[in-house]
Amino acid sequence: MARYMFQVAYTSESWATQVRVQADAVERVEPLITACNGSLEALYYAFGQSDIVGIGEFKTPEDAAAFAMAVTAGGAVKSFQTTPLMTVEQGMKAMKRANSAAGTYKAPTAIVLPDAKPAGARR
């Protein structure tokens, strides 16, 4: 199972309803995550661009996408962002792989073309 961070911004209408009703966000979100083959690790209210930040584990990327689609389709959010997360160990493995593979990539800034003229130059 892979971890994903999700960041949600509510609509003003959704906030008005939540302030009036004051329902538990975990009770609202957790059943949907479970229905999408996932589990909720943490859920936080946040200040700034995101109103809610959560960490969930999902069996497949499609399960995480289904969760995001279902939340967005509900109409209470104005934005939903999903970020796949890696453990530090996974990040270190990725760095090792990048280091060993880097020699096979020719970055566009490192390519020198014969007879290349600067953009806009005439022959």
Each residue's pLDDT tens digit, 51-81: 999 999 999 999 999 999 999 999 999 999 9
Instruction: Provide the 10 A C-beta neighbour count for residue 45.
Output: 9
* Mean pLDDT along residues 109-121: 65
Contacting residues for 2 by C-beta, under 8 A, at least 6 apart: 57, 58, 61, 64, 84, 85
Domain range annotation of the chain: 2-87
Q: What is the pTM of this model?
A: 0.79
Query: Pairing state of beta strands 38-45 and 52-58?
Result: antiparallel
Q: Which residue has the tokens 């999700």?
A: 6
Each residue's pLDDT tens digit, 76-97: 999 999 999 999 999 999 999 9
Q: Answer yes or no: are the C-beta atoms of 55 and 42 closer than 8 Å.
A: yes
What pLDDT does 118 receive? Answer: 64
Each residue's pLDDT tens digit, 25-48: 999 999 999 999 999 999 999 999
| Domain topology for 2-87 | Alpha-Beta Plaits (3.30.70)
Please give the residue that has the higher pLDDT: either 55 or 121.
55
With both helix axes pointing from N to C terminus, report the angle between 61-73 and 25-35 in degrees, rounded to the nearest 10: 130
Contacting residues for 79 by C-beta, under 8 A, at least 6 apart: 7, 8, 9, 49
